[in-house]
A and B are shown apart, each in its own frame.
Chain A
Amino acid sequence: MKIKLTTILLLLVSLSTFSQNYIKGKIIGDDGTPLIGVEIKINNSIEASSDFTGEFNIPYQGSYPVDVTFSYIEYITLTKTLFEPANGINLLVQMNKEKITDLTQVVVAASRSTEKKIETPVTIETFSEKSIINGTSPNFYDELVNVKEVQLNSNNLVSKTINTRGFAQGTNTRFLQIADGAEFTIPVFNASIGNSLGVNQLDVDNIEILPGASSALYGANAFNGIMFINSKSPFEKPGISVYYTHGYTSQEAAGVNDFNDFGLRWAYKMTDKVALKLNISYIEGSDWIANDQNSKNIVDIGLPPVQYFDAVNIYGDEITGNSAAAGGPVSRTGYNDADLNDGKIENFNGDLSFHIKPTLDSEIKIQQKISYGTTNFSGTNTRATLKNFLVLQTGLSYTSSNLTFRAYYTVDDAGDSYDMVRTAINVSKSAKNNNEWFTDYDNALATFRNDNPTFDNNTLLTMAREFADYSTVEGYNGNLPNSIGGQPRFDPGTAAFNNAFNTVTTSNDLTNGSRFQDNSYTLQSDINYNFQDIIKFAEFQLGGTFKKYGLNSKGTVFNDANGKIDYDVYGVYGQLQKKLLDDRLKLTGSVRYDKLTDLEGSFSPRLSVNYALGKRKTRNLRASFQTGFRNPTSSDLYNGANYGFIALVGSAKDNLENYSQVINFSNPILGPDLQTVDITGNHIYDSSFSVGSVQKFANSFSSSNPQAAIDLLEIKKVEAVKAEKVESFELGYRAGIGRFTFDLNGYYNKYTDFIYTKKVVTPYFMDASIAPEYGGIGAAILSQQFLVHQVYTNAEVPIETIGLGFGVERDFKTFFVSGSYNYTKLLDYDQTIDPDFVPEFNTPEHAAKLTFGSEKLFSNFGFNTNLRWNSEYEWVSPFAFGTIPERVVFDAQISYRIPAIKSMVKASANNLFGEEYIQVIGAGNIGQTYFLSLTYNP
């Protein structure tokens, strides 16, 4: 008994002393709810975190007073000093939310883990739901144009691309767009078209844009930049929301046309663990009519336009033939872009997802996305109409606090899409083939000139063209030659034209039709693991990605007429991030290895340093070295379509071996027998003349000095295409000073092996032993026995760019203001090293943006204005080139909130008081857009 009592007493005593050795309590937020997972440090060393009730219980044997620090993302770090042991009593700790400023808001993309915007190792631009609500553009995707460093290149309301840091393209294959972790790249294009298959405006939670190369974390094609669109969780934001926009697009060429845009989001939270989400949106409207009549030729060879002219938005006039009577090349009459499409654009996007949360911090998602529509589209090489184009994406993802796994399958169906350029060429041909047309022209010109010596040249040329087109000249009573064949040209609007148009656009035949078929797919899988719970001294992440490309265009785009082509890309990466010096210094290092089946693998490292200044760490310096790379596109690798007037030949190793075109021909120079040559891919890349040298040769060949002309011919072996690389150095400074937030950044990029495409001329035969008077090695050229090929290779000269960016934001009580300025310059390079290469920089040297508005000016009215200015710049692409003039664009909106029905009405005008302007040469001029929208968003 006695012993029992003493043991009990002992126990009690030890228990009470035991309880004195704990620091325990409960942590709550400003609204009184417990905070889970708060990091607790005692005297900066012992670590623990609060449990799911917000409570913590940490053994502590040390002395008093003792400092206990509580830190939690988005909350102000709190330190409490304990002066005496708590004796088992709970500490009640309340933490206050940090004021969300531009700097304190949390981002994920920069390091693949959560961190505050101010301390990201690289430049990041963010776009929130607020920007959508305050936006002046018809849709959130258009509104991105107002974000610092973003360049928007629009064709119309549906087709557009964004770009950062130079080298913009109509189809941007150097900028990656990701929705909830999955790329929404369309397989056949290796690029995204606007927001097709993206995220519904009502479902956008936030957007993060990383300008510049980020291949170390995100692999191939995160080259010019990368954009992440994150959607709202159906668990956190259930309910229904709707928007409807009705507006007008006004352009001189197209007139005033209306457009409608409707969207719905429905998120249904069945239980705390299961939810469903459905998004649908539909937009229909009209294209901006493309009617650029400027010449497409870089060099003006001084011929009268009536004889030879190739306009940007006239197709069919690329076909040229030599006319003895005209003494030079003549181009066929073409058709206007507007005659080759009906200008209607529409896009339906839908996605359905099923979400399951097996535990509080993990989620499984199964999603099906669909995009279907019609639009006009400026590809790199051509203008196309995507008609009834369908894209489907099925995905599965698993995310938990440390592990992310994703797999998704994307497939497209080109539907009734067709190439406008080839349509024009082939509709012309179906009236009169090239031989008939050019012979008629030649004969007519000779006849008219002979009969009417007083007529001026232009008149004669016009008459010759009319005869070639229509086999007659209206109102002319003189002698007409006999047309050697064919029918009069089909004029747009006539039944004959419509028939020919329909026949051509529905035909898969490469030389006579213009339809393109495609059922290509990509299968991609990513995995990422964050070792933060296992490895404590630093944050360590490992990840990998695998992507399979399956090409299936039945020979209309790729060289897959004889069977589908497929190839794989895979990558693995690791990242280490460590904070030192009281969390002021952050070091990040990452490295990634990627390989595409037939190409050499590449390493992409990244190193960055981040230092927080100021007592409250409100100023931050960052410096980084990053590398990026971009794999050649599926087209660069496996193109194999032969359209007659040109054949596109991709340069993947197996493609060069598989491509072949057997030609049977005869040429008296070689003898009477029929010759056969197999123009293989390898042959094209090894033994072709550059287009420039062939033009010089043809222009200067004369019997008096043939060798001089022959010497101008250049055989240039074209190297097979490989990945292009960029090395980037960047310095940045981000600060919150007073009520202003600033961001300043400067960068230097060095690009090597820039991928580009060019035309080459492949003669049927090339024989050095042929006498100079017959043309020597160029004999085949003189006999018109050559093929034109589009080849894909890399620049031999490195290219450098530098850039500077400055952004400032300030929130006043009623107003908000922000401004940005970007300077992007392509440095001079030695143009003699690779004269065929023209960098397609396509970016203005100076760009400035200003936003000024108020969410609530008075009662429930708000407004916003956006002003953008850019300096003049050149736009270069294989399809077209031109000068984009300096311009100022002004957008404005006024909005009225109706809290009773949780809605907002907005009236907005884009390009107010401004002239029409262009963003992509070859696409239509952008006029004014006016719209009224109603959003119901409880």
Chain B
Amino acid sequence: MNFKIKLTSILFLICTCWGYSQTIDNSDLKTFLKKHVSEEGFVNYDKLVRNKESLDDIVMGLSKISPTSTWSSNEVKAYWINVYNINVLKLVSSYYPLKSIKYIDKPFQVDFISVEGKKVSLDYIENTIMKGLEDPRIYFTLNNTCVSAPSLNREPYTAENLELQLETAVKAFVNDTSKNYFSNTTNEAIISPIFKWHASEFKNLIIFINNYLENKQITEQTKLTYSSFDWTLNKETY
């Protein structure tokens, strides 16, 4: 009896120790992103393919961790954003060179991401896990390598900086004239389909947009249409 308790408590300790040491060391991810993502947010895919091993290491490292109930909501959000973004890169790098992620068969549905021992898809992370986090700002940090997607952050998302990082990301996306058009002369706007895909998660879309939109405001009367998503690989042209 004594031995059993001792063993389980040791095991418990070990587990919690592991759990403790597993709060998240993003230094590898940080170095990796700095090396492969330019200041303007362009990913150097050629370099990525050459450094596949380090990429795999980082992916594996992240897969060994799992959010637990002790994690704060910011830690959880930061974790899943990083997991999503790095796994997209892993997926694309294994098929690169290619003109678009869409050339891969069912890229968002294939279950290739290791999470808690099982394999899930990008869709699962975005539409199940993240939906549960109830913060639509998250969707504006997800970079799926496409031209119409929000640009990839050079810095990993961290719990301490998450609030600022989320606000910055949404603001940059809403004001990006290549992704959202708000007319100066007529009361109309063409906005990214990301807003449509997650429409149910915005309490009030117009208020949300107005919160971040600079120099303009839209109203209930604004004629809103959604643009189509450009799935072309967002590669830097010289």
Contacts and interface: CB of A to CB of B under 8 A. Distances in A.
A136 B219 CA distance: 54
Contact of B177 (A32, A81, A86): A32
Nearest to A34: B183
A89 B100 contact: no
B225 interface: yes
Given A26-B190, A28-B177, A32-B181, A92 B227 contact: yes
A84 B100 CA distance: 12
A97 interface: no
Contact of A86 (B180, B190, B228, B232): B228
A31 B176 CA distance: 10
Contact of A94 (B178, B226, B228, B231): B178
Nearest to A24: B228
A81 B231 CA distance: 8
Residue of B102, B179, B182, B228 most packed against chain A (CB within 10 A): B228
Contact of B99 (A28, A81, A91): A81
Residue of B182, B193, B226, B230 most packed against chain A (CB within 10 A): B230
B68 interface: no
B184 interface: yes
A33 B177 CA distance: 9
Contacts of B231: 83
A28 B184 CA distance: 12
Contacts of A25: 227-228
A81 B227 contact: no
Residue of B100, B102, B181 most packed against chain A (CB within 10 A): B181
B227 A80 contact: no
B227 A91 contact: yes
A86 B177 CA distance: 20
Contact of A32 (B99, B184, B193, B227): B184
A65 to B, nearest CB: 8
Interface string B181-222: 110100000100100000000000000000000000000000
A699 interface: no
B100 A92 contact: no
B102 A92 contact: no
A17 interface: no
A81 B232 contact: yes
A92 B178 contact: yes
A83 B102 contact: yes
B99 A92 contact: no
A570 to B, nearest CB: 47
Contacts of B232: 80-81
Contacts of A87: 228
A89 B228 contact: yes
A926 to B, nearest CB: 48
Residue of B180, B182, B226, B231 most packed against chain A (CB within 10 A): B231
Contacts, number: 47
Contacts of A92: 178-181, 190, 227-228
Nearest to B147: A80
B228 A33 contact: no
Contacts of B227: 25, 89-92
Interface in A1-43: 25-26, 28, 30-33
Contact of A90 (B180, B184, B225): B225
Interface residues of A, number: 19
A81 B100 contact: yes
Interface in B43-64: none
B105 to A, nearest CB: 13
A52 to B, nearest CB: 11
A32 B177 CA distance: 6
B177 A90 contact: no
Given A89-B193, A90-B225, A90-B228, A83 B177 contact: no
A80 B230 contact: yes
A91 B228 contact: yes
A91 B232 CA distance: 13
A25 B178 CA distance: 13
A30 B177 contact: yes
Contact of A91 (B177, B182, B184, B230): B230
Nearest to B180: A92
Contact of B181 (A28, A80, A83, A89): A28
Residue of A25, A28, A81, A82 most packed against chain B (CB within 10 A): A81
B177 A31 contact: yes
A117 B137 CA distance: 47
A87 B230 CA distance: 13
Interface in A75-117: 80-84, 86-87, 89-92, 94
A86 B231 CA distance: 12
Contacts of B228: 25, 82, 86-87, 89-92
Interface in B138-182: 177-182
Interface string A840-869: 000000000000000000000000000000
Contacts of A81: 99-100, 232
A33 B182 CA distance: 9
Nearest to B100: A83
A578 B177 CA distance: 36
B143 to A, nearest CB: 18
A83 B179 CA distance: 18
A401 B127 CA distance: 52
A735 B90 CA distance: 40
Contacts of B226: 89-90
A87 B193 CA distance: 13
Contacts of B178: 92, 94
B40 to A, nearest CB: 12
B229 to A, nearest CB: 9
Contacts of B102: 83-84
Contacts of B193: 89
A45 to B, nearest CB: 20
A81 B100 CA distance: 9
Contacts of B181: 26, 28, 32, 92
B190 to A, nearest CB: 5
B235 to A, nearest CB: 12
A84 B179 CA distance: 19
Contacts of A91: 227-228, 230
18 contacts: A25-B227, A26-B190, A32-B177, A32-B182, A81-B99, A82-B228, A83-B102, A84-B102, A87-B228, A89-B193, A90-B226, A90-B228, A91-B228, A91-B230, A92-B178, A92-B179, A92-B228, A94-B178
Which 4 residue pairs across A and B have the least CB separation, nearest first?
A: A94-B178, A92-B227, A89-B228, A32-B177
Given A80-B230, A92-B178, 12 more contacts: A25-B227, A25-B228, A26-B181, A28-B181, A32-B177, A32-B184, A81-B99, A81-B232, A90-B190, A90-B228, A92-B179, A94-B177
Interface of A: 25-26, 28, 30-33, 80-84, 86-87, 89-92, 94
